Amino acid sequence: MIVAMQETATEEQIQQIIEHLVRMGFSVHRTTGVRQSILAAVGARIDFDTRNLEVLPGVQEVHRISAPYKLVGRTFRPEGTVVKFANGLAIGNAEVVVMAGPCSVESREQLFTVAQQIAQAGARVLRGGAFKPRSSPYSFQGLGLEGLKLLREAGDKFGMLVISEVMEISQIEMMLPYVDILQVGARNMQNFNLLRELGKVKKPVLLKRGIAATLEELLLSGEYIMAGGNYDVILCERGIRTFETYTRNTMDISAIPIVKKLSHLPMTADPSHGTGRRDKVAPMARASVAAGADALLIEVHHDPDKALSDGAQSLFPQQFAQLMGELRMIAPAVGRKMA
Ligand code: PEP
Ligand code: MN
């Protein structure tokens, strides 16, 4: 950490800051310039709040130079994390993995119809919510256990892995026999108790960025899961809330290369929630692959006008198939492969 003292700081104030830093466990190197003193504090401690120093007398500004996380940082695994599954699929390798399916599991007929079509188009993981976080308590809340059973059956039948959202700790045990990846939704990104429990689980977790979360906050949430011992964490950009109203959320494509630089964890892009509009999903999916996404999460429905959730952002199966064809052209241009 770098502490720049004010030009008017007294020698006594400077000594007080040095003592403060030493008490925090840092070794301090002082540079006295013509105008002001600069303190470089070096140490292993990462759990400090720079504001605690900024408010002390004589301090001008404080800059953190080390990341506030350890395990999710790129230096922990410079070669990158590859999340591997028993069927041979891997996320974080050369192949861009596409996860697709309806927002919610609604019925056997719906799920199997969509699953068959997306599998044929090259999707490797079947998505579908069995527990739905809805903005209104009167909206469809999901089929629960019945939905999980349908997902497993459809995934197995069409040769896809299964991902579904876990909303609370009490659902983890129930979900484990049915899903291959546990999804943490945007609304739960900072549900630290849930993240801690998922740290104990022996299944990959896909962690979505919160609607108003910074990338550092996303990484710190990933740190909660890894700190519990579960290193199979996959991050996901799904759009953030901005002042723009044209789209449901603003899809932050830059989050992809930024996270890939700061962290070794695989990065997913969800252009469905990222835009909220079917006509904007394909362009954002193409951009995500070009920007280096390791996986995509895309909502597809065979009859989106009748979908019980997120119909407007769900692709028709034929649109999804067309998009897959386009992605197969883009992926090799950026050194990646597609199924
Ligand atoms: C979903 O994937 O259907 C979902 C609810 O996503 P998010 O948490 O990103 O809103
Ligand atoms: Mn959805």
* Token representation of residue 183: 């999804």
- Check residue 53 and give its pLDDT: 95
Q: Is the CB of 292 under 6 A from ligand 1?
A: no
269 and 152 in a single domain? The answer is yes
Looking at every residue in the chain, the average pLDDT score rounds to 97
> Which residues are registered as beta bridge partners of 268?
236, 295
144 close to ligand 1 (CB < 6 Angstrom): no
Nearest CA to ligand 1 atom 10: 186
Examine the pLDDT at 232 and tell me if it is beyond 90.
Answer: yes
Domain count, the chain: 2
Residue 155 has a pLDDT of: 98
Q: What is the pLDDT of residues 238-269, one digit of tens each?
A: 999 999 999 999 999 999 999 999 999 999 99
* pLDDT score, position 210: 98
Inside any domain, residue 78: no
Nearest ligand 1 atom, CA 239 = 9
Which ligand sits closest to the CA of 314? 2
Q: Rounded to whole angstroms, how far apart are CA atoms 36 and 123?
A: 59
Q: Is residue 73 domain-resident?
A: no
The model's pLDDT over 125-158, given as tens digits with 9 standing for 90+, comes to 999 999 999 999 999 999 999 999 999 999 999 9
Q: What is the DSSP letter of 88?
A: S
Q: Is residue 70 part of a domain?
A: no
Q: What is the pLDDT of residue 45?
A: 87
Same domain for 181 and 321?
Answer: yes
User: Is it the case that residue 57 has pLDDT exceeding 90?
Assistant: yes
Asked if residue 313 lies in contact with residue 276, where contact means CB atoms within 8 angstroms, the answer is yes
- pLDDT recorded at residue 123: 98
Residues 23 and 96 in one domain: no
| 115 in the same domain as 44 | no
Res. 44: pLDDT tops 90: no
Residues 141 and 37 in one domain: no
Q: Is residue 77 part of a domain?
A: no
Taking the CA of residue 184 as reference, the ligand 1 atom at the shortest distance is: 8
Strands 161-165 and 181-184, how do they pair? parallel
User: Is 75 part of any domain?
Assistant: no
Ligand 1 neighbour 102 (Cβ under 6 A): no
- pTM more than 0.85: yes
**Both 48 and 122 in a single domain?**
no
Give the CATH number of the domain where residue 7 resides.
Answer: 3.30.70.1140
Mean pLDDT, rounded, for 42-50:
89
In this structure, which ligand is nearest to the CA of 311?
2
pLDDT for 176 equals 98
Verify that 209 and 314 share a domain, yes or no: yes
What 3-state DSSP class applies to 296? strand
Q: Are 189 and 302 part of one and the same domain?
A: yes
In percent, the amount of the chain with pLDDT more than 70 equals 100
**pLDDT tens-digit series, residues 283-318:** 999 999 999 999 999 999 999 999 999 999 999 999
Stretch (H or E) spanning 164? strand 161-165
Phi, psi of 283 (to 5 degrees): -60, -40
Tell whether 275 is covered by a domain.
yes
Residue-level pLDDT at 257:
98
Q: Do 14 and 149 have their domain in common?
A: no
Q: Residue 104 in 3-state DSSP? A: strand
Please compute Rg for the chain using Cα positions. 23
Q: Alpha carbon 125 to chain centroid distance?
A: 17
Asked if residue 99 lies in contact with residue 163, where contact means CB atoms within 8 angstroms, the answer is yes
**Helix, strand, or coil here: 86?**
coil
pLDDT at 332: 98
Judge if 54 and 122 occupy the same domain. Answer: no
Does the structure show a pLDDT above 90 at 94? yes
Report d(CA 201, CA 209) in Å as an integer: 20
Helix, strand, or coil (residue 213): coil
Whether residues 215 and 94 fall in one domain: yes
**Residue 69 domain-assigned (yes or no):** no
Q: Same domain for 25 and 92?
A: no
By most ligand atoms within 8 Å of CB, the mutation choice from 165, 234, 284, 300 for ligand 1 is 165
**Structural domain boundaries, residue 119:** 83-338
In a domain, 299, yes or no: yes
Q: What tens digit of pLDDT does each residue of 162-192 get?
A: 999 999 999 999 999 999 999 999 999 999 9
181 Cβ closer than 6 Å to some ligand 1 atom: no
**CATH code assigned at 168:** 3.20.20.70
